[in-house]
Amino acid sequence: MTHVDPGLWTTIADTVAAVFLLAGAFLTLGAGVGLLRFPSLLARMHTVTKPQVLGLILLLTALALRVRSWSAVGMLVLVVAFQLVTSPVAAHMVGRAGFRTGKVDPDDLRPNEFGEPD
């Protein structure tokens, strides 16, 4: 095996980190744009759960590639796991509260498993 300059791996990791950083920031921007432009509560909730979490995961992956220390990676995994666990719960709570307080158009739901709103 030929000798590889250790600085090369640093360069590669930094380059990949830069790509992930840009992708994550772009997805976060997508979440912001969708939040502003989507017409209804459920559509806005969609931007807060999906692109935002993926953007955060990409950004934290970039951070992990950049700092390259296992203790930091452990905490970043914790952040990602927490986002993945909590964002469906938060979205469910918000969606249910929106439905019960009449902020969701029942025609958007098909099938409508909640029945008619009170």
Regarding 57 and contact with other proteins (CB under 8 A), the answer is: no
Question: Can you tell me the distance from the alpha carbon of 31 to that of 41, in angstroms, rounded to the nearest whole number?
Answer: 14
What would the two tokens of residue 114 be? 């909640």
> Which is nearer to other proteins, 2 or 71 (by Cβ)?
71
> Taking the CA of residue 77 as centre, how many other CA atoms within 13 Å lie in the half-sphere pointing to its CB?
6
Out of 13, 16, 32, 54, name the contact with other proteins by CB under 8 A: 32
87-116: contacts with other proteins (CB under 8 A) = 87, 89-90, 93-94, 96-98, 101-103
Cβ distance 52 to 28 under 8 Å? yes
**Identified binder of other proteins from the candidate list 9, 12, 15, 105, rule CB under 8 A:** 15
Of 94, 88, 101, 87, nearest to 42 by C-alpha is 94
Question: Can you tell me the distance from the alpha carbon of 101 to that of 56, in angstroms, rounded to the nearest whole number?
Answer: 31
Would you say 98 or 115 has its CB closer to other proteins?
98
Under rule CB under 8 A, residue 12 binds other proteins: no
CA atoms of 92 and 110, how far apart (whole Å): 16
Which residues of this protein are in contact with other proteins, per CB under 8 A?
14-15, 17-19, 21-22, 24-26, 28-29, 31-33, 35-36, 41, 44-45, 47-48, 52, 55-56, 59-60, 62-63, 66-67, 69, 71-72, 75-76, 78-79, 82-83, 86-87, 89-90, 93-94, 96-98, 101-103
